[in-house]
Structure 1
Amino acid sequence: MTTFPDRITVNLASVLTFGAFAALVLNAMFGSLAALTFMFCGMLLIVSNPARSVDSLRRWWFVLLLPAYCILTALWSQFPTNSVRYGVQLMFTAMVAVVITGRLSTATLMRLMFIVYAIGVVASVAFGRTGAGGTWLGVFGSKNAFAAHIAVFVLIAAALTADRDSPWFLRLCALGGVVISGPLLILAQSAGATLMVLPCLAVIVLTLVTTRLSQNQKLFLLVMLAIAAAALALVVLVLGDTLLAEVLEGSGKDPTLTGRTDLWATGLGYIAERPLQGLGYRSFWVIGFAPAEELWAMFDVPAGAGFNFHNTYISNAVEIGLVGLAMQIVLIYGGALLMAAYTFARPSPANALLLALQLLMILRSFIEVEVFFEFSIRSIMGIATFIYALAGLLVLRRQPSTPAPHLSHRGLFRHA
C-alpha cells in the first residue's frame, strides 16, 4: 500500500491486477503484447508480497490440480510439447487467480473490472467498426466477442450502481454503463447474449432485494426460486429443442447454431474413442492434424485461427477427457453453488456480481468455450469465485455468531 502527499492511497495489488486484467480484456487492442503484459503484471503481483502469495497458494492448492492434470496429459498427448507449454501457462494463470483472492477484496475487484470493461466499451464506441450485415464489432474481432464483453459489462455496471460503498462518481458512471449497454447489445445483433444476460441481471436484483428481508423471508424466497428453477429445468429437458428452434427461427438465426450441432457430433465421436484421458491438453486444434484441418476447411476458417467445438464440455472432454472435465465441472458448478450459498448468507453487490458472472459462464458454456485455458479472464474469475465463496463460508462457519468481516476494506483507491 503506497500513500502519496495528496493523501490518496494506492493499492499496489489493485494496480497490478488492473494491468493484468486490462491486457486480457483488451487483447484485441494490445495484440501480441497482451500475454506479455499479463505475465509481467501477474509475476509482479506474486513477488510483491511473497509471504501472502505463498500462503494463498498453500491454502488453495487443490484448485491447481486442474492445470497440473493438463500438464500430465503430455504423457499420452499426440502433441506433448503443446500440452506442456499451454499447461504451464494455464498453471501460471491459475496461480495469479489464487493470489488475487488473497490480495483483493471482492468489492475492489468489482470496481477495477468496471474500469477495465468500460475502457473497452468507450473504445468500441469511439473507434469501433461494423462487420457483415451491419453488426457492430467494436474494437473486437467478432460480434460474439463484442456481445460477450457488453454482457459482462452490464452485469458489473448494475452491481456497482447498487454498491453504496463505492465513490459516487464511479456509481454514476456505472449507471450510465447500464443505460448504454442495451443499445450496444442490440447493435451486436446477438440474441444469445441478450437472452443470457437477463437471468443474470435478475440474480443481482434478487440479491439486493434480499438485503431488506428477514431470514425467514429469505428462506421462503429461496424455496420459491428452487421450485421455479426445477420447473424451468423440467421444461427445458422436455421441450428444450422445440423452444430453442422457435427462438432461433424468431430471431432469424440458423437452427443448427451456425453449424455447431455438426461440430458437437464430431466432438462426441472423439470423446467416445478416448473417454477418460482425451487426446491431450491443447492437442486437437493443431496445424497439421488432419481432423482439425478438415473442420477448419469445412467451416471456412483459416487454419490455426483458434477454432473450437463451441461447447465447453465437448471441447474440453475431447482434449482432457472426462477426468479433466470433472475437475472443471467442480470449479464451474461448485463455484456457483458455493457463491449462491455465501450470497444468501451475506448479500452484497460484489457477491451478487460474482454469482451472476458464474451463472453467465454456465449459460454460455453450452454454446461457447470460455474456460479453462491460459491468459483468460473468465478462467481467472471462475477460479476466484470458487475461492472467494469457499473462504467466505469458512469464515461464517468459524464465527457463526459474529458478522463476517466486510470485504471492501481494501479499495482500488481510497481517501486516507
Structure 2
Amino acid sequence: MTGRGATLTVNVAALLTFGAFAALVLNAMLGSLAALAFIGCAGALMVSNVPMSIDSVRRWWPILLLPAYCLLSALWSYYPSNSLRYGLQLTFTMVFALVMVGRVSAATLMRVMFIVYGIGVVASIGMGRVSGGGAWLGIFGSKNAFGAHMAVFMLIAVAVAADRESPPLLRLSALVGAAISGPLLVLAQSAGAIMMVAPCLCVLLLVLLSRRLLGTHKIFLLALLGIAVAALALIVLVAGDTLLAEVLEESGKDPTLTGRTDLWATGLSFIAERPLQGLGYRSFWVVGFAPAEELWSMFDVPSGAGFNFHNTYISNAVEIGLIGLAMQIVLIYGGALGMAALTFVRPTAPNALLLALQLLLILRSFIEVEVFYEFSIRSILCTATVAYAARGLLALRHQPAPRHHHSPGGLLSHARHPARSRPL
C-alpha cells in the first residue's frame, strides 16, 4: 500500500512462513486442520515466486537425496503404500524448508519463530491443563511435549532479546519470555528437557558473548569450549549411565527411561535382520504389524497411536537401514558443524540460535525421535540449518579479502594510522 510520503511493504514470504510454522507448532489446538493449513501456506510460498523456488531446490538438491531414498524404500518396504505416501509428504516438507531459506533470512525466521512459539506459551498459560501427577501440560498432550516446546522457546527468547537488529518492543517481549520460560519449564516436570536445554543455553550465551571479543580471544574461548565438550563427552562415556540414573531417581523418574531400554533392544534386533535397507520408510509402526502391536500392548498404548523407539538412530535405522541413517547423520551433524563454523566467524543472534537448536536436536536424538518426519517443524529447522550454514559459508568464501597497504616498516593501514605513515 502506497500513500503520499509513506509506503507499506508486506513481506509475503515471511507471512506464509509464519502461517506454515503456526500450523505445526499449534497442532495441538488446530487438530486435523494443522496439516491442511501447513500444506496451503507452504504451497503458496513455493508458487508465489516459482523462479526463486526452483533456484533454491536446484542449489541445495543434495539435501533432497534423503527423501528420495525414503521414496525408493517403497521397492522393498513391508508396506509400500506407506513408504510412498509418507515419503512424498517428507519430500514436500523438506522442499518447503529449502524454498524458505531462499526467501526468508535467518533473522526473520528467528522473529517468526518467537511469535509463533510465544502464541503457544500464552495459550498454554491461559488454557493450560495439569496432569494427574501435577505436571503442567499447557495446550499439549503430554508434559514432555510441553517441556520440549518451552525448551525451544527459551532459546528463541534469549536470542531475540540479545539481537540488536530486532525492534525494541520485540526485544522487550523476548526478555519477558526468557524470564517466564524457566519457571514454566520446571512446572512441566520434564527432567530430560531441563537437562538438555542447559548446555544449549550455555552455547548460545557464549556465542553472544564472543561478539565482544577479538579474534585471538575467540580462539581461546573456542579452545576452552572444546576442552569442556571433550571432558563432558568423557564423563558421559565413563559414567553417563550412572549419572543419568541418579538424576532421574532424584526427579522421581524411572532410571530405565520408562522402559525405553526394552524398546531399544527390540529395535536393534530388527536392524540386525535388515541392516542396510531396513523395513521401509514408515513401515514399522503400522496397525496390523505384529511386532508393533506387541509393543503397543506391552506399553499400554492404543493400537495405531503415536509411538516410536525413543532413539533417533535406532528408530530410523529400523525403517531405512544404515544407508538412510548415514544420510540423516550427515544432515544432523553436518548442519551443526557448518553452523558452528559460520557462527565462529559471524556470531549473530540468528546463527547462534540455529546452532543451539541443532545442538538441542542432537542431545534429544538419543532419547527422542524428532526427525525426519513429514510436517515436522524440527525436520524443517534441521533442513534449513544445513542450507543456511552452507549459504553463509559460501558467501564468506567468495567475500573479497581486505586490502592492506605496505610501508617500509611492515604492514600498515594508512586509513587507521595516517599520522604514522611514512612517505614512500
Q: TM class by shorter-chain length?
A: over 0.9
Number of the residue aligned with 1:241: 241
Residue aligned with 1:384, SS: helix
Number of residues paired by the alignment? 402
Number of the residue aligned with 2:416: none
In the TM superposition, 1:10-409 aligns within 5 A as 10-401=10-401
Task: For residue 100 of structure 1, report the CA deviation from its aligned partner.
Answer: 0.4
Deviates more, 1:214-223 or 1:109-118: 214-223
Kindly provide the amino acid, as one letter, of the partner of residue 213 in structure 2.
Answer: L
Kindly provide the amino acid, as one letter, of the partner of residue 312 in structure 1.
Answer: T
Residue aligned with 2:293, SS: helix
> Counterparts of 2:260 and 2:137 in 1: how far apart (Å)?
21
> Counterparts of 1:335 and 1:382 in 2: how far apart (Å)?
7
> Counterparts of 2:321 and 2:18 in 1: how far apart (Å)?
34
**Deviation string, structure 1 residues 79-138 (Cα, Å, up to 9, x no partner):** 000000000000000000000000011100000000000000000000011112011111
> Counterparts of 2:206 and 2:400 in 1: how far apart (Å)?
24
Unmatched tracts of structure 2, length 5 or more: 404-424
> Counterparts of 2:244 and 2:302 in 1: how far apart (Å)?
29
Task: For residue 243 of structure 1, report the CA deviation from its aligned partner.
Answer: 1.0
Alignment TM-score, normalising by the size of structure 2:
0.93
> Counterparts of 2:136 and 2:384 in 1: how far apart (Å)?
31
Kindly provide the amino acid, as one letter, of the partner of residue 399 in structure 1.
Answer: Q
> Counterparts of 2:379 and 2:105 in 1: how far apart (Å)?
18
CA contact (8 A) 1:3 1:10 kept: no
**Deviation string, structure 1 residues 169-195 (Cα, Å, up to 9, x no partner):** 111110010011111111100111011
CA contact (8 A) 1:371 1:378 kept: yes
Task: For residue 4 of structure 1, report the CA deviation from its aligned partner.
Answer: 7.7
**Deviation string, structure 1 residues 366-405 (Cα, Å, up to 9, x no partner):** 00000001000000000000110111001111115269xx
Residue aligned with 2:9, SS: strand
> Counterparts of 1:115 and 1:373 in 2: how far apart (Å)?
23
* Structure 2 CA distance for partners of 1:135 and 1:222, relative to 1, 3 Å: same
> Counterparts of 1:208 and 1:182 in 2: how far apart (Å)?
19
CA contact (8 A) 1:89 1:374 kept: yes
Higher Rg of the two aligned structures: 2
Residue aligned with 1:9, SS: coil
Residue aligned with 1:134, SS: coil
> Counterparts of 1:139 and 1:393 in 2: how far apart (Å)?
39
* Structure 2 CA distance for partners of 1:49 and 1:402, relative to 1, 3 Å: farther
* Structure 2 CA distance for partners of 1:3 and 1:356, relative to 1, 3 Å: farther
Alignment TM-score, normalising by the size of structure 1:
0.95
Deviates more, 1:393-402 or 1:250-259: 393-402
**Deviation string, structure 1 residues 249-297 (Cα, Å, up to 9, x no partner):** 1111101101111101110110011010000000000000000000000
Residue aligned with 2:151, SS: helix
* Structure 2 CA distance for partners of 1:269 and 1:52, relative to 1, 3 Å: same
> Counterparts of 1:294 and 1:322 in 2: how far apart (Å)?
24
> Counterparts of 2:139 and 2:7 in 1: how far apart (Å)?
36
Kindly provide the amino acid, as one letter, of the partner of residue 112 in structure 1.
Answer: V
Number of the residue aligned with 1:413: none
> Counterparts of 2:30 and 2:42 in 1: how far apart (Å)?
16
CA contact (8 A) 1:38 1:375 kept: yes
Unmatched tracts of structure 1, length 5 or more: 404-416
**Deviation string, structure 1 residues 123-169 (Cα, Å, up to 9, x no partner):** 00000111120111110111111000000001000000001111111
> Counterparts of 1:4 and 1:202 in 2: how far apart (Å)?
47
> Counterparts of 1:243 and 1:53 in 2: how far apart (Å)?
48
CA contact (8 A) 1:21 1:116 kept: yes
> Counterparts of 2:257 and 2:401 in 1: how far apart (Å)?
51
Residue aligned with 1:137, SS: strand
